[in-house]
Structure 1
Amino acid sequence: MIVVMKPDATMTQIEHMAEHITGLGLTPQVIHGKHQTVIAALGEERQGLLEALEPGEGVEKVLPIMAPYKRASSELKKERTVVSTRDLVVGGGRIAMIAGPCSVESEEQIVSIAKTLRALGATGLRGGAFKPRTSPYSFQGHKEDGLKMLAAARAETGLAIVTEVMAPEHVPMVAEYADVLQIGARNMQNYQLLQAVGDSGKPALLKRGMSATVEEFLLAAEYILDRGNPNVMLCERGIRTFEDHTRFTLPLATVPYLNEKSHLPVVVDPSHGTGKSRLVAPMARAAVAAGADALILEVHDDPEHAMSDGAQSITPATFSQLVEQCRRVAAAVDRSV
């Protein structure tokens, strides 16, 4: 249920309603908007709730939340969420660029490319220290040493670190180094991991599972939000279909749909979404036009010799061109890069 308070409701009335909701066995979430305050009454809905909540002093109306994902729904929060850490701001009028190699290969490599990307307009540095690979024989990442290399790159550039965490027991260690905890597609429904990331309080970048519906995607986000962590970004990274001309199918209609159904910012990954470096820039431009709040891109200074995902990695020179192209597209839809 959503309890919409009157515009002139006092703090005493708002606090009283929150206590009343708690007394009914539900969890209150108070959201102060520009013009009105709403209180979400979260929990198992049952008969008689409407009648119990409507008479409250200062209450204008009580509405049911129709979506199964309560905290992520735009029914609950009309104003768009903005997630920020260091210089990385995702949401609002400016489109963020998160870029870097698929895997952290060495300290020299990650520091060097971080400096280049910072100069070209990136505000977030992506890079895998822990790498979930389809084959157990593929490079699995440098793990904590890789995190230390990312931290060294941040110290040199100020770029916010976005890196993947793969297991609940790894969350405290990764959170010690990272600014944003990424949950990969293969872990989208690892509910213990989602809860652990929620408990960390760190901003989270949640990637859509390759076979997940949008509703399942939003319900996965709900697990993080339900732990009291509001800083969640939704990342469309492509889904598995019958098509084989690309690594995955990047369904950009998801972007405006998520913007309609949820208040959470939306990130697009055209690198994983296509698997082909020559398709990254066109899909990045299309993502900006569709309403993405940020792009996350794989950039490597020598893709041919990358330790992972070289085929979908663009060069710094291509990244520079992509940023300029996206800047022109963004201007056409009243945004900026």
Structure 2
Amino acid sequence: MKLKRVLKNRDEAGTVIDNDLMIIAGPCSVENYDVMDSTVAFLKSLGISYIRGGAFKPRTSPYSFQGLGDKGLEILREVKLKYDVKIVSEIMDVRDIEGICEVADIVQIGSRNMYNYPLLKEVGRLNKKVLLKRGLSATIEEWLSAAEYISLEGNDDIILCERGIRTFETYTRNTLDLNCVPVIKQKTKLKVIVDPSHGTGRRELIKPMSLAAIAAGADGLMIEIHPEPEKALSDGNQSVDFEGFKSIYREVLRLHRYLNME
């Protein structure tokens, strides 16, 4: 495979340019204003300004909560203006691009849509940062090819997100493939972050896998949090509460600073 656009970008010393840590956090889906308001207020108090929240949610079961749609976008717009944060939200359909782009600072392509090439081409024409999640069973090569679809349309502002792949293991929701982090950083110029929430599906594993991701060289993390995970309308088992997230965040920052000491 010849990747012409997602190539390595190094400075003269041979190190990857830009080493900032990116933390994206928030509930799996936008449930109501109160949950988003309390969550964003908490994250903002920690200095986190990238907020995740799905207005449109792809779910395996058609009977599961699939987001509030346009009402969810309006809630995201309100908290964005109130707290001066950046919104990360998923695009599922080309028909929703305009509405989502009015609110989202980063548009997310979820794992189910990694192979949706018409959608990839459309977001490639946007002047927006794109977060491209790895497909459920995608190889690294297939994942990079999806990024190339976006890049070939002119948008090189792409962040890759490892969120676990499907294997024979059933104890965890997915198998979090941290091998991909150094591979991506060696082969491409793109940033790569890790989603340990989807990668494990188990709340108690999010902290150790977050630390492992940072140790592997990830540029950031995407973590699902909720004020009351047991009451979450989606993915409660893989969401942490505020105190749990605060503990994870402190240890992640401590490790990142140690690893990047000069």
| TM-score interval, normalised by the smaller of the two chains | over 0.9
> Higher strand proportion, which one?
1
- What TM-score does the superposition give when structure 1 sets the normalisation length? 0.74
| Number of aligned residue pairs | 257
Q: Secondary structure at the match of 1:177?
A: coil
CA positional deviation for 1:219: 0.5
Contact 2:226 2:242 in 1 (8 A): yes
Instruction: Give, in whole Å, the separation in 2 of the partners of 1:121 and 1:250.
Output: 27
Q: 1:230 aligns with which of 156, 167, 184?
A: 156
Contact 2:35 2:226 in 1 (8 A): no
Pair member with larger Rg: 1
Q: How far off its partner does 1:73 sit? A: 2.1
Contact 1:103 1:141 (C-alpha < 8 Å) held by counterparts: yes
Q: Does the alignment pair 1:181 with 2:107? A: yes
- 1:73 maps to 7
Task: Give the equivalent residue in structure 2 for 1:57.
Answer: none
Query: Which residue number corresponds to residue 132 of structure 2?
Result: 206
Residue 63 of structure 2 is matched in structure 1 by: 137
What is the match of residue 282 of structure 1? Answer: 208
Determine helix, strand or coil for the equivalent of 2:141: helix
CA RMSD of aligned residues (A): 1.4
* Counterpart code for 1:200: L
Give the secondary-structure state (helix, strand or coil) at the position aligned to 2:249.
helix
Matched, 1:118 2:44: yes
Where relative contact order (Cα < 8 A, 6+ residues apart) is larger, the structure is 2
Q: Which amino acid aligns with 2:65?
A: F
Q: Is contact 1:93-1:335 (8 Å) kept?
A: no
Distance (whole Å) between structure 1 residues aligned to residue 85 and residue 195 of structure 2: 19
Out of 272, 277, 284, the residue aligned to residue 198 of structure 2 is 272
Offset at 1:174? 0.8
**CA shift digits 1:150-179 (9 cap, x unpaired):** 111111211110000001121111111111
Give secondary structure in 1 for the equivalent of 2:67: coil
Structure 1 segment 165-180 matched on structure 2, within 5 A: 165-180=91-106
CA apart distance, 1:78: 3.3
Superposed displacement of residue 94, structure 1: 2.2
The question of whether the paired residues in 2 share the 8 Å contact of 1:94 and 1:335 is answered with no
Code of the aligned partner of 1:73: L
Alpha carbons of 1:175 and 1:335: their partners in 2 closer, same or farther (altered >3 Å)?
A: farther
Are 1:121 and 1:323, in contact at CA under 8 Å, matched by a contact in 2? no
Paired position in structure 2 for 1:32: none
1:243 partner amino acid: E
**CA distance, structure 2, for counterparts of residue 322 and residue 92 of structure 1:** 23
| Structure 1: segments with no counterpart, 5+ residues | 1-66, 80-90
Superposed counterparts of 1:82-101, under 5 Å: 92-101=18-27
TM-score (norm 2): 0.95
Q: Output the CA distance in 1 between the equivalents of 2:194 and 2:50.
A: 14
Structure 2 counterpart SS, 1:182: strand
- CA distance in 2 between partners of 1:243 and 1:124 (Å): 32
SS of corresponding position for 1:223: helix
For 1:328, the equivalent position in structure 2 comes to 254
Equivalent positions of 1:235-314 (< 5 A) are 235-314=161-240
Distance 1:135 1:162, change over 3 A: same
Q: Do 1:115 and 1:156's aligned partners in 2 also have CA atoms closer than 8 Å?
A: no
Distance in 2, matches of 1:197 and 1:335, equals: 37
Q: Deviations over 1:9-33 (max 9, x none)?
A: xxxxxxxxxxxxxxxxxxxxxxxxx
Q: Distance in 2 between matches of 1:322 and 1:335?
A: 20
- 1:97 deviates by 1.0
Give yes or no for contact 2:93–2:119 (8 Å, CA) kept in 1: yes
Per-residue deviation at 1:123? Answer: 2.1
Distance apart, 1:335 and its partner CA:
6.3
Give the whole-Å Cα distance in 2 for the aligned partners of 1:122 and 1:301.
16
Q: Any unmatched runs of 5+ in structure 2? A: 12-16
1:133 and 1:140 in contact (8 A); partners too = yes
Which SS does the other structure have where 2:125 is aligned? helix
